[in-house]
Amino acid sequence: MSLPTIVRTNTAELYDAYVMKNYGRASLTIVRGAGVSVWDDTGREYLDFTSGVAVAALGHCHPVWVEAVRRQAGELIHCSNLFRNPNQGELARRLVQQAGPGRVFFCNSGTEANEGLIKLARLHGLRKSGEEGKCIKIIGAKNAFHGRTFGGMSATPQEKIQKGFRPLLTGFAFGELNNLQSFADLIDENTAAIFLETIQGEGGVTPCTDEFLWGLRQLCDKHNLLLMLDEVQCGLGRTGTFYAFQHSGVRADAIGMAKGLGGGYPMGAIWAAEKHADLFTPGSHGSTFGGTPLACAAALAVLDVFERDNLLQKVQTNGTLWKAALEKLVVEFPKQLKAITGRGYMIGVLLHGEPAPYIAALRDEGLLAPAAGTNTFRLLPPLIATKEHLDRATAIIRAVLTRKN
């Protein structure tokens, strides 16, 4: 007689039994979301300042987004890139409208976008030198993070990311962020591109200065290099402009984007300036799922709400006031806090110690926030968060600091 099948109803047990253990997950099961809040399986509400790590630009289950996805799912979900679909064309137009004259390639994630940028740099190097495999150097920044695929890891000079996967791709060199001379010293005849995050996210929420970006632009113009900006986390309105580099007024040659673009649906994209967009020719790059009708409908809904609700201006205004309020905590709790970094709704709280105890304490008080680097936690609220939501988060942070003081 066979034994009856055991039906597991506890999510933690299912994870323990069947899910790979490559994430350091909290002991928390999220089952529902609405606006800036999520709820766990006990019914407890949390203020979600992870936003799925900068993904939920419109918060959770925004009615405009939900309706757009529902409607498109009833019409056409997938269409091969062997054919055209109206949503992809319209989304490309609107992204080009934001970035400047150029063209767009669609993919499914930030890492995919960054892999595409690396390929674009290789093709630019081939065009520049006339010899394949010669002009392949890409100069990035120390402490960067560009993903966990082989190209992404190779562009990410962190031992914890690269360990166990060597040999990686060759051709990468790294300068000090905001130290222009350190980048200039690495340029040689075999250099194809400079590639960095406008604001380092995983590395600790460290922005590029305007002067540094302008200096890089001049170096790229002088040496015929691509200036490629990873805006996967900091782009799509998170700092109060559509792309974070737009605060500086600098011109990029190529941009990688994802996360908030789909508002929760997997979506990534590359924009390349017109003079470089022809580097990709038929067969040189592709994606089965990139830019499907459903993914593009989700992204178009995000952009619609950006415009309808003037979200970017609200992020700028609220973000400035919020950062000032958080900076007062640095004065109030100097033994725990070093500084507040970032811009808009991408804020880093730089600590004197490790972030894990603070993240756990914040979670206990009903605020979810992810780590960044070894001594920072991030605050990444949905772009729909109001001043009241930000004030509530600040109050929770103050309460945690007071108890730990």
Whether pLDDT at 315 is above 80: yes
Provide the pLDDT confidence category of residue 256 given band limits of 50, 70 and 90: very high
What DSSP character marks residue 246?
Answer: G
Whether pLDDT at 25 is above 50: yes
Structural contact between residues 136 and 123, judged by C-beta atoms closer than 8 angstroms? no
Whether pLDDT at 7 is above 50: no
* β-strand pairing of 191-197 with 137-141: parallel
Which residue bears the tokens 């075999």?
190
Q: Is 193 helix (H, G, I), strand (E, B) or coil?
A: strand
CA distance 356 to 362: 10
CATH classification (class only), 311-405: alpha beta
Mean pLDDT of 345-370: 98
Mean pLDDT of 210-228: 98
Q: What is the pLDDT of residues 39-51, one digit of tens each?
A: 999 999 999 999 9
φ, ψ at 46 (rounded to 5°): -130, 145
Mean pLDDT of 98-116: 98
Start-to-end Cα distance in the chain: 62
Encoded tokens for 297: 């409908």
Structural contact between residues 111 and 287, judged by C-beta atoms closer than 8 angstroms? no
Provide the pLDDT confidence category of residue 405 given band limits of 50, 70 and 90: confident
**Count of other CB atoms within 10 angstroms of residue 211:** 11
Q: What number does CATH give the domain 65-308?
A: 3.40.640.10
Q: Is 28 exposed, middle or buried (0-12, 13-18, 19+ CB in 10 A)?
A: middle
Residues in contact with 391: Cβ distance below 8 Å, sequence separation at least 6, in sequence order: 325
**Cα distances (Å, whole numbers) of residue 331 to 283, 324, 325:** 56, 11, 10
Please tell me the predicted confidence (pLDDT) of residue 404. 85
Which residue bears the tokens 């309460």?
399
pTM, two decimals, is: 0.95
CA distance 391 to 127: 52
Mean pLDDT of 136-157: 97
Provide the pLDDT confidence category of residue 2 given band limits of 50, 70 and 90: low
Structural contact between residues 371 and 403, judged by C-beta atoms closer than 8 angstroms? no
* β-strand pairing of 199-200 with 206-207: antiparallel
